[in-house]
Amino acid sequence: MITEEQIQHLHHFCVKHYVRFYDLQLELVDHLANAIEQKMDENPKLNFEQALDEVYKGFGIFGFSRIVSERDLALRKKYQKSFWKYFLSYFTPPRLALTFLIFLALNVPIYFFQKQYIHSFFIAYTIIGGVFGLAGLVIALKKFKKPKKQLLLLQSNGGVFGIFAFILQLPNFYFNLFLEGENGYQMQFSNIHILLVTGVFTLIFLSSIAYFDTYRNLYYQAKSDYPLAWEQE
């Protein structure tokens, strides 16, 4: 029977072999403990350290690196699936109404005032988007307290800063679309062009919100599955 002291030794063993994520450590420690017990049952002459060495050799020359990579890839796929679920929900009732309101709010001022100020509107939208993203980041940092121990579940999707990353695409989109060379140029907009540009702005806003929803879901799942990660060591 593996003792608590030996369990702690396995955690340190994982850290020593470059597994710094607490959630992955728990999985590996559980696997190692079961495999070690089986080895010692099969060969009573083996002590704990000898059985651990034999079990670790079974991971091959790359050790735990393959397990870390596979787990990271699996979590990234899970994140992408969750993100698209939230993002696409804004195109079905009742969230479709919010999507329409955002799109309408971006278009009405342009048509209400003269189109000659369209560049001023898009610059204003870019600034508002930056403020919106920064506010979302600040709220997220306050709401989602960083765990004391690193969790792969919260790192595989880029972490909380990804909430702001989507909004950063607004100035990138604007300056690549409207400016060229040192002096830039004034692009002539038809109604279709305006609808397309405001449509892209809307999608970027919705992507940021969907990322926030996705991260929030992962965060509370992590707090439920790994509560000790938030406790002082």
For residues 43 and 113, state if they share a domain.
Answer: no
Dist CA 137 CA 170 (whole Å)? 16
The answer to whether residues 51 and 148 belong to one domain is no
Of 146, 158, 143, nearest in space to 231 by CA? 146
Asked if residue 169 has pLDDT above 80, the reply is no
% the chain with pLDDT above 70: 82
Does some domain include residue 95? yes
**Is the model's pLDDT at 233 over the cut of 60?**
no
Range of the domain at 142: 86-230
Is the pLDDT score of 118 beyond 80? Answer: no
- 131 in the same domain as 39: no
In a domain, 8, yes or no: yes
SS3 2: coil
- Angle, alpha carbons 49-51-54 (nearest 5°): 110
> What span, in angstroms and rounded, lies between the C-alpha atoms of 225 and 215?
15
Residues 35 and 111 in one domain: no
Residue 50: per-residue pLDDT: 92
Instruction: State whether 21 and 106 are in the same domain.
Output: no
Clarify whether residues 192 and 103 are in a common domain.
yes
CA pair distance 179, 171, nearest whole angstrom: 11
Whether residues 112 and 162 fall in one domain: yes
Residue 73 lies in a domain: no
Per the structure, the count of domains in the chain is: 2
Q: Is the pLDDT of residue 196 over 90?
A: no
Would you say residue 138 lies in a domain? Answer: yes
- Whether 27 is in a domain gets the answer yes
Do 50 and 92 belong to one domain? no
Mean pLDDT of 27-37: 93
Residue 7 or residue 205, greater confidence: 7
Residue 68 has pLDDT above 80, yes or no: yes
Better pLDDT: 159 or 197 = 197
Average pLDDT of the chain, as a whole number: 83
Does some domain include residue 55?
yes
Query: With bands split at pLDDT 50, 70 and 90, how would you rate the model's confidence at 227?
Result: very high
Residues 153 and 207 reside in one and the same domain: yes
**What's this model's pTM, rounded to 2 decimal places?**
0.78
Same domain, 54 and 114: no
The answer as to whether 78 is a domain residue is: no
Same domain, 34 and 96: no
Q: Is residue 71 part of a domain?
A: no
